Amino acid sequence: MTSTSFWQATAGDWQPAATAARMLDRLFDCIIVGGGIAGISAAYALAELQPRWCVAVVDRRQVGGGATGRNAGFLIAGTADHYAVSVAKYGRTTSRDIFALTVASHRRIRDFLARHPTVDCDYLPCGSLTLAGTAREAEMLAQSVALLQEDGFDLTWIPHDPLGRGFYAAIHNPQDAGIHPIKLVRALATASGATVVEHWPVTGLEADRGTLLVHGTTGILRAERVLLALNGEAPTFASFFANKVFPKRGQIFVTAPYGRRLLDKIVYANEGYEYFRQLPDGRFLFGGGRRAFAETEVGTDETPTEAVQAHLEAFRNRHFPELTAVPVAYRWAGTMGFTDDGLPLLGQLPGYEQVWFTIACHGHGMGFSLEVGRQAAQMLIDGTPPPLFDAQRLDTPGDGG
């Protein structure tokens, strides 16, 4: 099976100006380890908040080479849970704050694109549908939309299947959107002005006379502070994350172009475990299937499997039988970072005075990261993690708000 994503194959050429050899004698105000949407969003926010800082982003692969370039290109508000589930888990105030944060994140993307009208990242303000796969889930969606409306969010309850394809009900969010994730993250990286170095794996960190040495395979970089944006790969970098971040695999396939437009929104279904969209050129994207293979879809292996791919094809054939004969052009997998409580982690790495982290958006990094990146940048500046996502919460149980 292929491992290159559709986004990686269609992003076009992009060459960062920097090379590691030209950086070795510089002292950076901040080095960000990880060139995905989390790290690049932080770099972009730092350009706004601390424009005089000298910032570098290094990645062991290329910008967008991890989960950012291996997702579905969804900008979805909220967490992976339905809102009623979120309220039961975190409390009303926390759930409202999280949803509002993702709405703000989407607004920051729209503002960015408005300020940079030449950026082409296939942004589609098409709205989303969240579809119920069972009658029980339909009841949960009805409760969720009622709570969301009470909390001031503009979503609509649809008490039937708006697609007529075997679902029970839906929530429509007109603010959600589709995007080409690699084109977006590259544009943000360029706009940030950060020094970007690709194919520069970090092998370790070392404190040295008030600064930090960032060891790589081809040299050592120096910085006043470091931000780790490693997502599901965090446990392999530092043992601190071993019982806090859990990597899980997500799988997707994209078909050849289909001649008719069947779908004009991005879609989550079956509690978000299946998702799909029709791309601008007519191709269909189907992803998910992890719930049926929970025991195998763990770890950092990015190889798509026959079992999950067959599950996704069966889902496609069941709900879109006219696509059965359309060939699959791309199959891939990516690693997502999860936590026990379902929320991102921001904080300080123990043992290092100026090493911080922002990780684990539970497969919703595109929806979270512009605003979480701003919070990570503020954390680097003032030395205080944002209360909503402070990693210390995992050691100090709270009442959920």
How many distinct structural domains can be found in the chain? 1
CA 13 – CA 70 distance, rounded (Å): 17
Kindly list the distances between the CA atom of residue 343 and the CA atoms of 95, 149, 347, 364, 388, in Å, as whole numbers in the listed order. 11, 22, 13, 10, 9
**pLDDT, tens only, 220-248:** 999 999 999 999 999 999 999 999 999 99
Per-residue pLDDT, 17: 58
- pLDDT band for position 253 (cuts 50, 70, 90): very high
CA 41 – CA 35 distance, rounded (Å): 9
Tokens representing 158 are 């649809």
Tokens representing 14 are 């992009």
Contact 197, 35 (CB under 8 A): no
Q: Within a domain: residue 79?
A: no
User: Of the given ranges (217-231, 241-255, 354-368), which has the lowest mean pLDDT?
Assistant: 354-368
User: How many C-beta atoms lie closer than 10 Å to residue 175's C-beta?
Assistant: 18
Contact 105, 372 (CB under 8 A): yes
Q: Within a domain: residue 294?
A: no
Q: Within a domain: residue 171?
A: no
Structure-token match 């695999």, residue found: 249
CA torsion, points 268, 160, 153, 261, in degrees to nearest 10? 50
Q: Within a domain: residue 264?
A: no
CATH number of the domain encompassing residue 218: 3.50.50.60
Q: Within a domain: residue 260?
A: no
Q: What is the pTM of this model?
A: 0.95
Per-residue pLDDT, 400: 42
What's the domain range around 186? 6-71+182-244+341-394
Q: Among 252, 300, 365, which residue's Cα sits nearest to residue 60?
A: 300
Q: For residue 67, is pLDDT > 90?
A: yes
| Burial of 168: CB neighbours in 10 Å, binned 0-12, 13-18, 19+ | middle
Q: Within a domain: residue 374?
A: yes
Q: For residue 323, is pLDDT > 50?
A: yes
Per-residue pLDDT, 397: 52
Per-residue pLDDT, 20: 58
Q: Within a domain: residue 84?
A: no
Per-residue pLDDT, 401: 42
Tokens representing 76 are 């979805």
Q: Among 10, 3, 105, 73, which residue's Cα sits nearest to residue 363?
A: 73
Per-residue pLDDT, 209: 86
Hey, what amino acid is at 174? Answer: P
Secondary structure E strands in 190-264:
195-197, 202-208, 211-216, 219-223, 226-228, 246-255
| Counts for the chain of helices (H) and strands (E), in that order | 9, 20
**pLDDT, tens only, 17-50:** 555 556 667 899 999 999 999 999 999 999 999 9
Q: Within a domain: residue 217?
A: yes
